[in-house]
Structure formats: structure tokens, C-alpha cells
Amino acid sequence: MNESVVLDKIVKTHGLVKAVDHVSLSIRSGEFFSLLGPSGSGKTTILRLIAGLDHPDQGDIIIQQRVVTLDPPHKRPVNMVFQHYALFPHLSVFENVAFGLHMKKERQTNIQNAVSHMLALVRLQGKEKRLPSQLSGGEQQRVALARALVNRPVVLLLDEPLAALDQQLRQEMQGELKRLQREVEATFICVTHQQDEALMLSDRIAVMQGGKVLQVGTPQEIYDHPVSSIVAQFIGLSNTLSGTIASCEGGVCRVDHEVLSSVLVMCSPHDPPQGAVTVMVRPERVHVSSDMSINGYDNMLSAVVHHVAFSGNEVVYHVRLRDKAIWMARVPIAEAQASSFAIGQPVYVHWRAMEGLVLPAHPASC
Ligand SMILES: Nc1ncnc2c1ncn2[C@@H]1O[C@H](COP(=O)(O)OP(=O)(O)O)[C@@H](O)[C@H]1O
Ligand SMILES: [Mg+2]
């Protein structure tokens, strides 16, 4: 597949802040690529550099095999949808979408056709004459998308496109975004700080922190094989235990902890970890029981129920381990109804060695 956008060792500072710190990325044609990271990690700055709204201090930006590092925005085959839509409040839906085509002095019939096509694509037919203030948040977002896509960009940049929407609309629009991307066959580069959104929408994700890219991969690669505990925590692996490798044999390590019992975790037999490590266990893999030993589990730690949270189809137990760390266990509702635990109750958490993940405690920075 062709490369659509290449960032080559990009550095961008704002005063004393290194907003983007030697970032290299290669984004493929037609890909849904997400930049995922906490607030302040440099995501918006990267989009602005690709759009040409800012220029890097160092490095190059290549779009469709052409170096565009210092080109102004209108010389790039790129459009951006901003976090707060930035619609013209005094223009109708139709005029908002037509604006870019008017600026390019397109013929009236072309404008009419292109805008109608786009409004159909974002499912806003019949609302052409409304002002933005007469639309819901989701509809305003669709206008912003239509306005960006009507120019037929090769690359669409989306800055937290769904952040202003409530939960239900957000989920609806996630599906819409994916459908739109397939229909217009453009490269979408989407910024988000929501891991579930990135995992659901993206072909590939770059996880960012402090202006650096920590990992690039498919959602599955990042979820199953995070390169560091920072990445793992960022995508929802919240149960951690810090310890030291005591032994590694045949792909199973024993990790000793200062206070808690030792735990077993699978590791690569060819490249076993050494020294200080972090063991991580997904909340959906942790089994809570009042029994100390259960067949089939390799690990057991004693704990006390600290908090119980109910959601539609599961119960999340927050339990306090003897070292005071809080772990979470997600239990399907049917299972939780069969055996429930109360706050303050002593319990045991169990999990299998193959369901833990062992990562260096202090990853080499990349
Ligand atoms: N125009 C600016 N002037 C000064 N600092 C800025 C400017 N834009 C961004 N920054 C700083 O650069 C860092 C990265 O910002 P940004 O790219 O907006 O992050 P994100 O979009 O991931 O939240 C932050 O520390 C932010 O405060
Ligand atoms: Mg931002």
C-alpha cells in the first residue's frame, strides 16, 4: 500500500515546551490512523503541522511522495475538522458546506451537485437551509465533516471529532465516521484521548506521551502486546504489580514481590525478562472467590472488597491487596449474581499465568 503521509523526525517546540519530540510516522493511503494520548501529548500539534497551520523546527513532512514541509495549507491535499467544528454561524448548512468551493470559484452547478452529494453522504438532506444554531451537536459535526470532505481531500485530519457529543451520539457517530471513510476512500488521521474510540475505529494507532510516539500498531497488537506499562495502562490494563524476576524457565517466570506472594507469568522463552518488572493483568481475567484455592488458576492473592460498581451487564469489584494496591475484576452479571461479595469482605483473586503480561519496569525510551 502507498504511503499517504510521512513524518520524518519532526520536532516542534512552543517556547520551552517540546510539543513534538522527534516523531516519525508513516501513514498508509486509505488508512484510518489514530493518534491516542493524554491531553498535552502533542496530538493537535501534529495535525496542525500536517495541515500546514504550523511548521516544524526540524524534520520533513511528505504527503503523497511530495515534500510539503513549508508549503502553506492551501497547497496541501488536506482538510481539517476542528474540535469545536468552527462552523460559520450566519451561514446555512448548504452555504457552510459550499464555502470552500465558492472560494475555489467552482461553477454553480458543480457546487450544487457536490454539496447535495455530500449532504446525502452525511445524511443531512432536507436540512440545507438551517443555521448551525438550529442543529443538534451530532448534526453540526456532520456539517463540519461534509464541509471538509466536499473539497475531496486525500487526507482528512480530525481533532477529537466526537469529544463534544454525549455518549450515545458518540457511539452512533463512530459508526458514521467509519462508513464515511470507506465511502470517500480518503486517509483519515484522527486525534483522540479515548482508548475505546481509538481501538474501535482505527486500522492502526500511534500511542503518544510527552511529544513522543511510544508505540504504533493495530488495535490488537497494542492491546495484546503493549511495549511498556505506560502504553498498557493507557489502553485499560489497570491491574499492576511491581516485582523482581526470581526465575524464568520454559516460558514461565516467577516474579517476587516485597509484600505479596510470588506470582507466575508467561514470558518469551527466547528473551526472558530480567530484573525489575511490572506484571499486568486485565480486569476481565481476574477471578474473585471466597475460596483460597481453585483448580486451574496459577496465581492467588488475598484481598478485601473495597468497592462494588454495577453496570448494565457486569459487576466491577475493586479489591485492595495486602500492599494497599487496588485491583479491579470485571465479572459478568450472571456470574456475579451466583456469588456476590460485599464491601469489606475478605476474598481471593485468582488468574492464570498465561493471562498476565510481564513488562520491563523502566522501559527504554524511544
Ligand atoms: N501555541 C502554543 N503555544 C504554547 N504552547 C503550546 C501551543 N500549542 C501547544 N502547546 C503546548 O504543547 C504541548 C502539546 O500540545 P497539544 O499538541 O495541543 O497536545 P494535545 O493535542 O495532545 O492535547 C502542550 O504542552 C501544550 O501546552
Ligand atoms: Mg489537542
pLDDT tens profile 6-29: 999 999 999 999 999 999 999 999
Ligand 1 in reach of 159 Cβ (< 6 A): no
Residue 213 to residue 45: CA distance in whole angstroms: 13
Per-residue model confidence (pLDDT) at position 341: 94
Domain boundaries, the chain: 3-225, 237-360
* Ligand approaching nearest to the C-alpha of 45: 1
Ligand 1 in reach of 40 Cβ (< 6 A): yes
- For domain 3-225, the CATH class is alpha beta
Give the pLDDT confidence of 96-147 residue by residue, as tens digits: 999 989 988 889 999 999 999 999 988 899 999 999 999 988 899 899 999 9
Contacts for 105 with CB less than 8 Å, ≥ 6 apart: none
Residue 59 has pLDDT above 80, yes or no: yes
Ligand 1 in reach of 44 Cβ (< 6 A): yes
Q: Give 87 Cα–ligand 1 centroid separation in angstroms.
A: 23
Residue 120: exposure state from Cβ atoms within 10 A (0-12, 13-18, ≥19): exposed
To the nearest whole percent, how much of the chain has pLDDT over 70? 98
> Has domain 237-360 been given CATH number 2.40.50.100?
yes
CA angle in degrees (0–180, nearest 5) for 213-362-266: 100
> What number is the average pLDDT over the span 139-158?
92
Let me know if the fold of 3-225 is the same as that of 237-360.
Answer: no
Q: Are 140 and 87 in contact (CB under 8 A)?
A: yes
Residue 209 has pLDDT above 90, yes or no: yes
Ligand 1 in reach of 215 Cβ (< 6 A): no
> What number is the average pLDDT over the span 47-58?
96
